Amino acid sequence: MADLTPEELRELRRLHVSAGRRVDSLFAGEYRSAVRGQGMEFEEVREYVPGDDVRHIDWNVTARTGEPHIKVFREERQATVLLLIDVSGSAQVGTGGRDGRTDRRLQIARIAGGLAYASIRNQDRIGLITFTDMVEAYLPPRKSRGHVWAVIQAAFTASGQHRGTDIAEALRFVQGVQRRRAVLVLVSDFLDDGDWARTLGPLTRRHKVHAVLVHDPIDDGLGRLGLIEVVDAETGQRRLVDGSRLRGRRSPEERAQQIRRSGARVVSISTRDDPFAALMAYFHREGARR
């Protein structure tokens, strides 16, 4: 893990004051209502009584005793939350927010940090995957405060060896390491032309998947600029392009629709948005769906 730069240290202090206070008041409650009880744990076997769900009959015990028995489950109160954050070259691009510095990468780190703070209050296990066109780092889910701080620091300091994006590669990694049901939070600009939706679909049937689509006003304003010189954030190459052609890339809403078709929940957050207010509103809606 890289050392914190002075700028990153200031941002972490700002996050501690802002996210810490708001998690204590509102955000943690909204988060808890959306992620709690994502699985069921076996508790006991008891005799069947009229009104029990026949789908839970334990046929082995029933055959052995001659009396119908059912399995009793209880809702899990703690979740395993796995954050997947995009640290590719495209995530470094943005017009800046009110402070003039908020590009996609910083907004992604703030979102991850806020969710990590919420996990402390909810006593959840939380882990982190950072990725470009490969998995750059993996912190397996744990629950200690020291581990949560490591997750937050990694979210702010992560820098990829590569600059390209391959969301499907990160999702395949999850399939290999996260066998038990979990809450997956995938934070990216989703500017990946690969067939990641084909890999995301099966994961939504095993896990609860929240996608956070981070976008920037620059995504919609390039068409008015005419010919412009750009640096490809993922290759480092310079070239002249027609801004109107860049504008033809999928809009944030089109990207969100692709995510929804895969079966994941999605919230779209601009680099100009307050990330904690946006997440709070989203989790409130998700909690109401339960």
Query: Could you list the residue range(s) of the whole structural domain that residue 193 is in?
Result: 6-36+77-289
Q: Do 170 and 71 reside in the same domain of the chain?
A: no
**Neighbouring C-beta atoms of residue 186, cutoff 10 Å:** 27
Q: Do 31 and 83 reside in the same domain of the chain?
A: yes
Q: Do 166 and 47 reside in the same domain of the chain?
A: no
- 26, pLDDT greater than 60: no
Our count of domains for the chain comes to 2
Q: Does residue 1 lie within any of the structural domains?
A: no
Q: Using the structure block, give the residue that is written with the tokens 């334990």.
A: 58
Q: What percent of the chain has pLDDT over 90?
A: 37
pLDDT confidence of residue 247: 47
pLDDT confidence of residue 57: 94
- Range 116-137 average pLDDT: 90
Long-range contacts of 274-279 (CB under 8 A, 24+ apart): 275/107, 275/110, 275/111, 275/114, 276/18, 276/19, 276/22, 276/27, 276/110, 276/114, 279/27, 279/30, 279/31, 279/111, 279/114, 279/115, 279/212
What's the CATH number where 166 sits? 3.40.50.410
Q: Do 11 and 71 reside in the same domain of the chain?
A: no
Q: DSSP alpha helices (H): ranges in the chain?
A: 6-22, 28-35, 59-65, 104-122, 145-157, 167-177, 196-206, 218-221, 243-247, 252-261, 275-289
Q: Does residue 122 lie within any of the structural domains?
A: yes
- Range 185-197 average pLDDT: 92
Q: Do 44 and 149 reside in the same domain of the chain?
A: no
Q: Do 51 and 185 reside in the same domain of the chain?
A: no
Q: Do 29 and 50 reside in the same domain of the chain?
A: no
